[in-house]
Structure 1
Amino acid sequence: MFNKILVVCVGNICRSPTAERLLRKFHPALTVSSAGLGALVGKGADPCAISVAQAHNLSLENHCARQISGRMCREYDLILTMEKRHISALCEMVPEMRGKVMLFGHWDSEREIPDPYRKSRDAFDAVYALLERSARQWAQALNAEQGKQ
């Protein structure tokens, strides 16, 4: 059973905080956090990510970027990444995590979710749509899994 989920991207200021908040919204029973492989530690969410999220009634308020660690990985039941290279990096860092790391876009044809950092508002809007769709799909899959237990 996946009760504690960690969402990972690079800087932990655009994709993973948005995905974290979306998963919490669609599946409130989960404990969801986020971190980055090259986190801008201590920074809040990107201003454009905040603006796009607000346009969809989602708050990224009080987000504070965190650097992922092996210890942190071991605390979670499932780790969701934005790109395949993130899976490789995490499995190098903590080899025993291999079976617990998947793409956030897993249910969307194993889609990788591109980094909108320092790109246009349109790029952030497109990424938000991908994150929202994938978060809904994860929530649905996790709800179905809980129903079996």
Structure 2
Amino acid sequence: MISRVLVVCAGNVCRSPMVAALLTRSLRSVAVESAGITALVGHAADPIAVDLMRERGLDIQSHRARQLLSWMPATSDLVFVMDGLQRRHLEQRFATLHGRIYRLGDLPTTSHSGTGFDIPDPYLKDRESFKESLRLIEASVEGWSKRITDICGTAAEPNLTVGTSSS
């Protein structure tokens, strides 16, 4: 059973807050949190990310970046990272988590059949860069939500408890 998911990126102000918000909406009975390897601790989510999420009916305005601490992945059933370098970093730092850390783009999707991909960091880039990252994030979240639902045997219905500290 997957009951707790951690989403990790670099600064915890762009990609991981968007992923966490989308996963939280997609999965019922799964606690979703996010953190950054080199977090901009206390910073709000990037305004472009906030705007793009608002367009999708999600509010990440109150999100504040958090540093990845050792207890976070240790207490998670599944950890998503945005790229291969982050995955290798976490696998080396948390050897006991081997098999629970996945690159978000590793799940085959219709548009990226079996190839896997990194989610590029849009930090300090233009809106188009954010939109491209979000396009990949949404495809990945859709695939992972289905996979998690299939594994857990629970409905992937909207989770209406999008927490401010975890998204």
> Deviation digits for residues 17-75 of structure 1, max 9, x if unmatched?
00000001111321100000000011110111111111222211221111112222101
> What residue in structure 2 maps to residue 93 of structure 1?
93
Give yes or no for contact 1:9–1:82 (8 Å, CA) kept in 2. Answer: yes
Name the TM-score, length of structure 2 as normaliser. Answer: 0.84
Structure 2 gaps, min length 5: 109-114, 155-167
**CA–CA distance in 1 between the matches of 2:63 and 2:138?**
18
> What residue in structure 2 maps to residue 29 of structure 1?
29
- Please provide the CA RMSD for this pair: 1.3
**CA–CA distance in 2 between the matches of 1:52 and 1:18?**
9
Give yes or no for contact 1:74–1:97 (8 Å, CA) kept in 2. Answer: yes
Identity, % of aligned positions: 34
**Moved beyond 4 Å, runs of 4+:** none
Q: After TM superposition, list the pairs within 5 Å mapping 1:1-149 onto structure 2.
A: 1-108=1-108, 109-147=115-153
**CA–CA distance in 2 between the matches of 1:116 and 1:140?**
26
**CA–CA distance in 1 between the matches of 2:92 and 2:153?**
34
Question: What's the CA shift for 1:147?
Answer: 2.1
Structure with higher helix content: 1
What secondary structure sits across from 1:48 in the alignment? helix
Question: What's the CA shift for 1:90?
Answer: 0.8
Name the TM-score, length of structure 1 as normaliser. Answer: 0.94
> Number of aligned pairs?
148
Structure 1 gaps, min length 5: none
